């Protein structure tokens, strides 16, 4: 895949050579740091760390021109084994529609 034709790259080696993709990766790293997504810690010898990879996407305007280059750093969670790397998963997820329903019910039943 050639980057000159504005296609989405799949390899880090291809993207690191281009300033537009380096800038997109820098924005992603800055956002992760601002959101305090992780802490740097020493890995115990018996722990196998999860790898990560870059995913690239070109965001386009309705006329097909490039709006921006987007890079996301994602964890390779598929490499984990249940019972070895983790025992259970739980994630708090709240949707805005759920909050609206709760607030509406609270205001009705005051």
DSSP state of 18: S
Structural domain contains residue 92: no
- At 70 the pLDDT is 95
Q: What is the tens place of the pLDDT at every residue in 21-62?
A: 999 999 999 999 999 888 888 888 887 788 899 999 999 999
Q: What is the tens place of the pLDDT at every residue in 62-95?
A: 998 899 999 999 988 777 777 777 777 777 788 8
DSSP state of 87: S
Nearest CA to 8 out of 52, 62, 60 is that of: 60
Quick one: average pLDDT of 90-102?
Answer: 85
- Specify the 3-state DSSP secondary structure of 77: helix
Structural domain contains residue 110: no
Cβ pair 73, 29 in contact under 8 A: yes
Structural domain contains residue 72: yes
**What percent of the chain has pLDDT above 70?**
94
Tally of domains in the chain:
1
Nearest CA to 24 out of 36, 39, 8, 40 is that of: 8
- At 4 the pLDDT is 42
HSE of 94 in the Cβ direction (CA atoms, 13 Å)?
Answer: 5
Q: How far apart are CA 4 and CA 94, in angstroms?
A: 41
DSSP state of 82: B
Range of the domain at 25: 3-85
Structure-model confidence comparison of residues 89 and 103, the more confident one: 103
**Structure pTM?**
0.64
Structural domain contains residue 103: no
Q: How far apart are CA 59 and CA 61, in angstroms?
A: 7
Quick one: average pLDDT of 96-103?
Answer: 91
**Could you give the angle at the alpha carbon of 13 between the alpha carbons of 12 and 16, nearest 5°?**
75
């Amino acid at each position: 895949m050639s980057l000159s034709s504005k296609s989405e790259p799949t390899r880090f080696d291809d993207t690191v050579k281009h300033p537009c993709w380096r800038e997109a990766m820098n924005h992603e790293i800055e956002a992760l740091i601002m959101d305090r997504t992780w802490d740097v810690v020493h890995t115990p010898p018996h722990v196998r760390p999860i790898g990560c990879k870059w995913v690239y996407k070109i965001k386009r305007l309705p006329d097909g021109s490039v709006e921006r280059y987007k890079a996301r750093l994602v964890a390779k969670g598929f490499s984990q084994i249940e019972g070895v790397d983790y025992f259970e998963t739980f994630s708090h997820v709240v949707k805005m529609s759920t909050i609206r329903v709760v607030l509406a019910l609270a205001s009705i039943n005051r």
